[in-house]
Amino acid sequence: MLEAYTKWIVRHSVTVLVLTLSTIALLSLGTFQLTFRSDDRIFFSDENPELSRLRDFEAKYGRENGILFILTAAEGDLFTPEKLAAINELTDRAWRMPYVKRVDSVTNFQRVVAQGDEINIGHLARSGIQIDQHQAKDLKSAALKERLLVGRLLTPDGKVGLVAVQFRLTDETPGDPAAELMSEARAIASDFSARHPELKLRISGSLALDNAFGEASARDGVFLTPITFAVIFVLIGFIFRSWAVVLTTFSVVAAAIGSAMGSAGLLQIPLSAPSVSVPFIILTLATADCIHLASAVFRTSLADPRTADRAGSVVHGLRLTLRPITMTSLTTAIGFFSLTFSESPPFRHLGIIAGIGVISAWLLAITLSPALMSLLPWRAKSTSLLIPDHWWRVLHRRIVQHAPVIIIAVAFTGIAAAAFAASNSLDDRYVDYFDNSFDFRRDTDYLNRHLGGFYNLEYSLKSGKAEGISQPDYIRQVDAFAQWLRQQPQVTHVAALSDIMRTLNQAMNGGGEAAYRLPDEARLAGQFLWLYEMSLPVGLDMREQVSLDKSESRMTVSLEDISTEQVLDLAARAQKWALENAPLLADSASATGTTILFSHIGKRNIEQMLSGTLLALLLISILLFFVFYSLLLGGVAIFSNLIPPLAALGGWALFVGEVGMAVATIAAVTLGIVVDDTIHFIEAAQRARRMDNADPVQAVLTAMQQAGPGITITTAVLAAGFSCLYFSGFQINAWMGLMTAIVICVAFVFDLLFIPSILIRMRRWR
Amino acid sequence: MINKLTVLTMTTVLAGAAFAQSPEERGMEIALETERRDSGFGDYVVEGNMLLQSPDGGSGQRRFSMYTLEIESDGDKRLVEFHQPRDLEGMISLTFSHGLEADDQWLYLPALRRTKRLAARDKTGSFAGSEFSFEDIGTWEVKKYTYKYLHDEELDGNATFVVENIPAYAFSGYSKIKEWVDQAIYHPRRLLYYNMAGEPLKELRFYDYRKFSERYWRPMKAVMTHMQTGAVSTIEWSDYRFHTGLEENDLRPNVIRRWSN
C-alpha cells in the first residue's frame, strides 16, 4: 500500500501539484477573515474567576481604559504660570478626544477650600485664569498638601505630574480604539512638546499597553519574517546545495502557513501578540518535515547514482520517511493541541493554529513535496549531507568505551538541573513583556520610578446596605485599612473614601487642621458627601468612587514596580489584616484589577496545563509503545524527552530565575517536537536489529549513520528557527522561542549520547 | 430665453435676500418667542419623583419639591427641597440664575444646621446623583446661549423647529445643545447635549405637556438618557401649582433653613 501510494504520487505529480495548491489557495482565503485583538483581556478566558470579579467591579465603577500623559518639568517644578497654563491646555485638549469620559490632571484637581460658610470646590488652577509667579508658588504649597493629589497625579517634589484621560470603550466599540487613541495622543504630544519645550511629555496607561500589544505583533511580523526566512533557507541551501530543495521547502512552508492561518480565519480564531508567533513555528516545523524527505531522497540517489533516476529516488525516499514523518507530525500536533487546556486563550489559539499547521505541513510533505521533487531538476552532491560518515564511527567508538560514564553523567546532570525547575519564580509584570525598544516600556518604567501606580490593587469595600458608606463604623474601618496599606513598603498611594470624608469635614468646619478627621455622625457624613457630589463638575464626579446606591466605595492602592508574586503576597496580607481588624470589610477586602488578573494567570496556567501536559504525555507514550512495541524502549524514549524540558527550566532557574505565564506551555509543546528525533533514532536501530540481525552495538552504529545526519540537521534548523523568535521585542514570544531552542539542544544530547549508550548497555531490546 | 431666465433667477435671489433672516436671527426669534409666551407666570411649585436606572440593573429613587420664582430684571430663582433618600432628606438647594454671570448657589445641610454657599463657578455637577446636572435643571435664560435655527422637523407627530444652542456663558459642560422646539406651544420636546469632543452625550425628552393657568405649558415627565452609558433618569412631575404667593423674601440664603423640616 505504501509502495502503491508513493508511486502514485510521483506518477501523478502534476495532478497532485494542482490539487494541493488549489486546496491551499482556497483555505488561504480565510486569512482575509483573520481578526486581531490587542486588548489585555484576551489573555483571560471567560471562565477565569478573577476576570468575573473584575467585571463585577467594573459594572459598578466603569472599566479602566486610560491614557496617561506624564509631564516633567525640564527645569524646576511644574508650578510656574506658563507650565500650569500648558497643563491646562493639555487637559482641555484631552477633553476633546473621542470617547473621552474623564480627565484628571494636576490643574483640574478638585480642591475643597472653605472660607467661613463659603465652600469652594473647584479646579486647583482653572483654565483661562491668569496667575502670577507668586500665586503659582502658593498653588504649589497648597497642592503638596492634597493627599489625593500627591503620589497619585503629582510627585512630592512637584516636578512630575499627570494628565490622566479615561475613555468609555466597550467590546462593541468599532475599529481599533486603542491604536486610534494612542496615535491621536502621540500627535497631541508631539504638537505640545514643540510648543512647550519647558515640559517633557511621556505616554503610558492601559490603552498604551493595549497598543503596545498590537505594535509588538506588527513588529514581530516585520522583523522576524525576514530574519527567520533568511536563517532557515540559508541553512537549507547550505546543507543541500540545491535550489530545488529550497524551492520545494519554501512551497511547503508557505502553503502550510497559508492553510493554517486561513483555517484560523475560517474558524474565527482571533490573533493576539503571542499567537502571532505561529507562522514562525509552522515555518520551522514544516521545514523539518521537508528536510527529512529531502535527505532520504538524496541518500537514496547517492547510494546508487547510476540506476536511481530522480523519480525512483523520490519514491524510495518517500517510502523510507512516510512512516516516521507521520508519527512525528502526530506527536508534534498532540503537543500543540494539548495547549487547548491552557487558561489563557492566546495559548489555546496558538496551539490550535500551530496544530493545524503541523497537520497541513505533514500532508504537504507527503504530497506536494515529493511531487515537486520529482518535477524539479536536482542532483545530490556527496558533500551535501554535512557530517562525514567517519565522524559517526568515531563518536560511536567513544560511546562504546564510555557508555556507563555517559549514562550517569547525562542522566545526573539532566535530573540535577530538572530539580531546579520548580525554583523559577513566576512573574507576569505586563510592562516587562516589552523590551526597551518600546516607548511604552520606557515611559511606563519612568512613571513607575517617579510616581508608581501603573500596577495597582482595586477594592470595592461593601458596607452591606444602601447609603451605608456614611456610617461612622464603615468610614473608620476604611480609614484604618487605608492607613495600614500606606505603611506597606511597596505601596505608593492609597485613594479611599475616608480621605474625602476628612477633607469635607475639615471644609465644613471652618477649614482648620484639627478638623481634618472623620465625621462622627452618619447623616452628617452622608450630607457632606451629597454636597461634594453635587459640586463636582461633569467628568470629575464620584461615579468612579462610589456605587450608585452608596452601599460600596472604591479604594485604589497604587504600587511600585514589584513582581506579581509580591503583589499576591501583599493582597493576601491585606485580606488577612482586614479579616482580623476590620470586620465590616472582611468580606470585600479581596483585591481585583488588571494587576491581580496578571498576577494569578501564571499559576492558573500551570495548574490547567498540568492536565494538558499529562494528557499529551499519555498519548505520546501510547503512540511510542505502538511504534516500538517495547515498554523498555518506550520508557527510555519518554525519559529522554521529559528530562530536557525540565532540565532547560532548571537551567533557566539558575541563570534567569523568572518565568511568565508562557512557561506552563513549554513542556507540552517541546515534548511533541523533540520526541521526533528519538523516534527516528530508535526506529533506525530497531530496523538494523530486526532486518540485518545486527547486535545492539552494531545496530546503534547503523542508527547513528542513518538517522544521525537527519537528527543533526533538524536540530540545527529547529534550534535556529526557534532562536529567531528571541529577536521578538515581546518577551512572551522571545522567551518561548529561546526556551524551546534550548530544550531542542538538550534533547539532541540525549538522542545522540544518552540513548545510544543506554541501547549499548541494555542488550535485551530489539 | 437664457436672458429671461437669468433675470428671473436674479430677481428671486434678490427678493429672497431682502426678506430672509440668517439662521442666527431665526434662532434668536424662536428663543424670544419662547420667553415671551412663558413670561408672567410669577411663581410655581411642583413635586418631582425621580427614578435612576443604571444599565447594569442598579436603581435609585429621589423625591423633591421645586419652587420657581420669576424675576423680571434678572434670572429666575429656584429652590429645591429634597425628601428622599434618607441622607438627602431636608437638604435645600437655592439657585439664583444669572445671564452670562455664574449662577449663585447655596446648600442647606440639616445635619450641620448650616447653609453653605457653593462658590464654584461651574454648575455641571450631578443633580442628586442623577444624569441631570445642575446646569440642566437650572432655569433657562435667553442670554445664556447663542442660537442658530437649523430646519423644521416632525417629531412624534409634532411640528418642531430644530435649533442649535451654543452656551454663551463660561464653564458650561457642553459644546452645544440641539433643541427641538414645538411650533405650537414653544416648548422643547427634545434636547441633545454634546460634550466637548463634539459627541452626543445625553438626550432629554419631555412628555405629556399640559396647560396650567390657561397659559403655561409644563411637561409631566422628563427622561434624560446618557447615550454613552445607557443610564436613564426619569422625573415624573406632579401637582403643578402656579401663583402660590412665593416672595423674594422667602428665597433669601439666610432664611432657607426654614424650608427644611
A472-501 pLDDT, tens digit each: 999 999 999 999 999 999 999 999 999 999
DSSP-derived letter for residue A380 is -
Which pairing describes strands A658-659 and A552-559: parallel, antiparallel, or unpaired? Answer: unpaired
User: B111 vs chain A: nearest CA distance in angstroms?
Assistant: 5
More confident residue, A550 or A172: A550
C-alpha cell at B190: 427634545
DSSP-derived letter for residue A221 is I
Between the CA of residue A417 and those of A407, A413, A414, A652, A653, what are the distances in Å? 15, 6, 5, 9, 9
How confident is the model at residue B122, as a pLDDT? 76
Between the CA of residue B161 and those of A230, B33, B179, B181, what are the distances in Å? 68, 12, 8, 5
Where on the phi/psi map is residue A271: left (φ > 0), alpha (ψ -120 to 50), or beta?
beta
Nearest Cα neighbor of A407 from A652, A708, A415, A642 is A415
How confident is the model at residue A373, as a pLDDT? 87
- Phi first, then psi, for residue B194 (nearest 5°) are -110, 135
Using the beta-carbon criterion (under 8 Å), do B125 and A535 form an inter-chain contact? yes
Cα gap A438→A454, rounded to integer Å: 16
Using the beta-carbon criterion (under 8 Å), do A60 and B56 form an inter-chain contact? yes
Cα gap A455→A591, rounded to integer Å: 12
Cβ atoms within 10 Å of A399's Cβ, excluding its own? 23
Categorize the per-residue pLDDT at A261 as very low, low, confident or very high, splitting at 50, 70 and 90.
very high
Between the CA of residue B102 and those of A222, A356, A541, B96, B169, what are the distances in Å? 57, 67, 20, 9, 8
B194 contacts in chain A (CB < 8 Å): none
Q: Closest partner residue to B52 among A100, A122, A548, by Cβ?
A: A548
Look up cell 473584575; give the residue: A54
B171 contacts in chain A (CB < 8 Å): 537
Q: Return the SS3 of B193.
A: strand
Cα gap A243→A249, rounded to integer Å: 10
Cβ atoms within 10 Å of A172's Cβ, excluding its own? 5
Q: In what order do the strands lie in the sheet with A552-559?
A: A455-462, A552-559, A491-495
pLDDT tens-digit profile of B178-221? 999 999 999 999 999 998 888 899 999 999 999 998 889 999 99
C-alpha cell at A507: 471644609
pLDDT tens-digit profile of A632-646? 999 999 999 999 999
Cα gap B220→B46, rounded to integer Å: 10
Q: In degrees to the nearest 10, what's the CA dihedral of A498, A504, A510, A516?
A: 10
User: B157 vs chain A: nearest CA distance in angstroms?
Assistant: 33
Q: In what order do the strands lie in the sheet with A199-204?
A: A100-105, A160-167, A66-73, A199-204
A456 beta partners: A558
Using the beta-carbon criterion (under 8 Å), do B85 and A120 form an inter-chain contact? no
The full DSSP string for A646-676 is: HHHHHHHHHHT-EE-TTHHHHHHHHHHHHHH
Mean local confidence (pLDDT), A361-386? 81
Nearest Cα neighbor of B155 from B189, B123, B112, B195 is B189
How confident is the model at residue A461, as a pLDDT? 96
User: B81 vs chain A: nearest CA distance in angstroms?
Assistant: 14
The CATH number of domain A2-42+212-432+598-761 is 2.60.120.1440: no
Domain residue limits, chain B: 24-259
Q: Which helix (H) or strand (E) holds B53?
A: strand B43-53
Look up cell 512647550; give the residue: A196
pLDDT above 90 as % of chain A: 57
Please say if the pLDDT value at position A766 is more than 80.
Answer: no
Cα gap A44→A21, rounded to integer Å: 37
Q: Closest partner residue to A96 among B88, B118, B196, by Cβ?
A: B196
DSSP-derived letter for residue B254 is G
Using the beta-carbon criterion (under 8 Å), do A527 and B228 form an inter-chain contact? no
Q: In degrees to the nearest 10, what's the CA dihedral of A114, A115, A119, A124?
A: -60
Please say if the pLDDT value at position A242 is more than 90.
Answer: no
The full DSSP string for A269-306 is: PPB-TTGGGHHHHHHHHHHHHHHHHHHHHHHHHHHSTT
Between the CA of residue A127 and those of A124, A188, A472, what are the distances in Å? 10, 18, 37
Cα gap A9→A21, rounded to integer Å: 14
Using the beta-carbon criterion (under 8 Å), do B114 and A467 form an inter-chain contact? no
How confident is the model at residue B3, as a pLDDT? 52
Q: To the nearest whole number, what is the mean pLDDT of chain A?
A: 90
Domain residue limits, chain A: 2-42+212-432+598-761, 65-204, 455-560+568-591
Question: Which residues of A lie inside 8 Å of B (Cβ-Cβ)?
Answer: 59-60, 92, 95-101, 115, 117-122, 128, 168, 466-467, 470, 508, 521-524, 526-531, 533-539, 541, 547-550
Q: Closest partner residue to A530 among B87, B124, B173, by Cβ?
A: B87
How confident is the model at residue A608, as a pLDDT? 86
Categorize the per-residue pLDDT at B124 as very low, low, confident or very high, splitting at 50, 70 and 90.
confident
C-alpha cell at A451: 510616581
Which of B122, B134, B228 to mutate to test binding with chain A, by most A CBs within 10 Å of its CB? B122
Specify the amino acid at residue A44. F
Of all residues in chain B, the one with the smallest CA distance to A101 is B228
Q: Closest partner residue to A538 among B86, B116, B133, by Cβ?
A: B133
Categorize the per-residue pLDDT at A90 as very low, low, confident or very high, splitting at 50, 70 and 90.
very high
Between the CA of residue A272 and those of A35, A43, A256, A349, A435, what are the distances in Å? 9, 9, 20, 9, 18
Where on the phi/psi map is residue B70: left (φ > 0), alpha (ψ -120 to 50), or beta?
beta
- Phi first, then psi, for residue B85 (nearest 5°) are -75, -175
Specify the amino acid at residue B12. T
Between the CA of residue B95 and those of A173, B69, B123, what are the distances in Å? 39, 11, 10
Cα gap B155→B204, rounded to integer Å: 14
More confident residue, B12 or B138: B138
Please say if the pLDDT value at position A522 is more than 70.
Answer: yes
Please say if the pLDDT value at position B19 is more than 70.
Answer: no
- Own/partner contacts of B56-62, CB < 8 Å, gap of 24 or more, are B56/A59, B56/A60, B58/A60, B58/A547, B58/A548, B58/A549, B59/A548, B60/A548, B60/A549, B60/B85, B60/B129, B61/B85, B62/B88, B62/B128, B62/B129, B62/B130
pLDDT tens-digit profile of A341-350? 998 999 999 9
Which of A535, A543, A545, A546 to mutate to test binding with chain B, by most B CBs within 10 Å of its CB? A535
B195 contacts in chain A (CB < 8 Å): 95, 100
Q: Return the SS3 of B205.
A: strand
Please say if the pLDDT value at position A324 is more than 50.
Answer: yes
Of all residues in chain A, the one with the smallest CA distance to B174 is A538
A168 contacts in chain B (CB < 8 Å): 228-229
Cα gap A581→A613, rounded to integer Å: 43
- How remote is the C-alpha of A156 from its chain's centroid? 35
B107 contacts in chain A (CB < 8 Å): 531, 534
Summary count for chain A: helices (H), strands (E): 25, 11
Mean local confidence (pLDDT), B141-151? 92
Q: Is A752 exposed, middle or buried (0-12, 13-18, 19+ CB in 10 A)?
A: buried
Fold of the domain spanning A65-204: Alpha-Beta Plaits (3.30.70)
Whole-complex ipTM = 0.87
Cα gap A460→A458, rounded to integer Å: 7
How confident is the model at residue A678, as a pLDDT? 92
Please say if the pLDDT value at position A657 is more than 70.
Answer: yes
B254 contacts in chain A (CB < 8 Å): none
Which of B115, B116, B123 to mutate to test binding with chain A, by most A CBs within 10 Å of its CB? B116
C-alpha cell at A729: 521585542
Do A99 and A169 meet the contact criterion of CB atoms below 8 Å apart?
yes
Using the beta-carbon criterion (under 8 Å), do A508 and B197 form an inter-chain contact? no
Which pairing describes strands A425-426 and A658-659: parallel, antiparallel, or unpaired? Answer: parallel
C-alpha cell at A621: 507514550
How confident is the model at residue A298, as a pLDDT? 84
Cα gap B97→B24, rounded to integer Å: 24
Strand positions, DSSP E, A367-453: 425-426
How confident is the model at residue B15, as a pLDDT? 45
Q: To the nearest whole number, what is the mean pLDDT of chain B?
A: 88
Please say if the pLDDT value at position A358 is more than 70.
Answer: yes
Using the beta-carbon criterion (under 8 Å), do B117 and A537 form an inter-chain contact? no
Using the beta-carbon criterion (under 8 Å), do A119 and B112 form an inter-chain contact? no
Categorize the per-residue pLDDT at B18 as very low, low, confident or very high, splitting at 50, 70 and 90.
very low
Which of A18-22, A30-34, A206-210 is the most confident on average? Answer: A206-210
The full DSSP string for A445-511 is: HHHHHHT--SEEEEEEEE-SSTTGGG-HHHHHHHHHHHHHHHTSTTEEEEE-HHHHHHHHHHHHTTT
Cα gap A211→A207, rounded to integer Å: 6
How confident is the model at residue A383, as a pLDDT? 53
Of all residues in chain B, the one with the smallest CA distance to A59 is B56
Superfamily name and number for B24-259: Lipoprotein localisation LolA/LolB/LppX (2.50.20.10)
Specify the amino acid at residue B221. K
A59 contacts in chain B (CB < 8 Å): 56
Of all residues in chain B, the one with the smallest CA distance to A173 is B228
Using the beta-carbon criterion (under 8 Å), do B85 and A548 form an inter-chain contact? no
How confident is the model at residue B74, as a pLDDT? 82
Look up cell 471652618; give the residue: A510
